[in-house]
Amino acid sequence: MLDRIRGHARATTLLATVFDFDIARLDPVEEVHLASGGKVQLIAGEASGGTFFTCDGGPVLYASSEGTAGIIATDVDAAIRLVIRVPTWHDVVACAPDPDAMRGAFEASYAELQEEEPEIGQLGFEVAAELGLGEVDVEEVLASLGRCLTELSPNYVLLNENGDEYDAL
């Protein structure tokens, strides 16, 4: 997926500027590693200093600049689906795994975002089409996020360079 993104300038630009998933921003706040000894690979960053990693070549872990971390997607494709279809996912994670609460948080935060960026939905569809992701259903993305946060995250504990554990998202 990362090669596909690099091969599509418009998708790369939209992901970085609109959806805050910048594959050129590869400067983590600090060095990190998994408690399990597994491999983390930095794949993108966001303007607030958060970073996206793949863990052992699979799940995508997000680490905030405030010391929280968790698995947000099963793979890079799913992470892209998340950021383009639920661009306010940061506002949703605290509600996991309750699907109704997650949907409610998404709807409220997304309505606010649409006031500032009325074309956000269309831009997400453009990125999905350009990258060949097909239809991206909000309900499926929210359900996947909930499962990742509650079922996968405990298996991928992130530690900073001092060995201190990140808090759960």
Whether 144 shows a pLDDT value over 90: the answer reads yes
Domain that holds residue 140: 2-164
Residue 57 forms part of a structural domain: yes
Whether 82 shows a pLDDT value over 80: the answer reads yes
Q: Cβ distance 28 to 61 under 8 Å? A: no
Residue 22 forms part of a structural domain: yes
**1-5, 19-23, 128-132, 140-144: which has the minimum mean pLDDT?**
1-5
Residue 80 forms part of a structural domain: yes
Instruction: Kindly report the pTM of this predicted structure.
Output: 0.94
Whether 22 shows a pLDDT value over 90: the answer reads yes
Residue 169 forms part of a structural domain: no
pLDDT at 99: 94
Torsion (CA) 144, 163, 46, 152 in degrees, nearest 10: 0
Q: Which residues contact 98 (CB under 8 A, 6 or more apart)?
A: 146
- pLDDT confidence bin for 29, thresholds 50/70/90: confident
How many domains, in total, are found in the chain?
1
Residue 154 forms part of a structural domain: yes
Residue 32 forms part of a structural domain: yes
Residue 153 forms part of a structural domain: yes
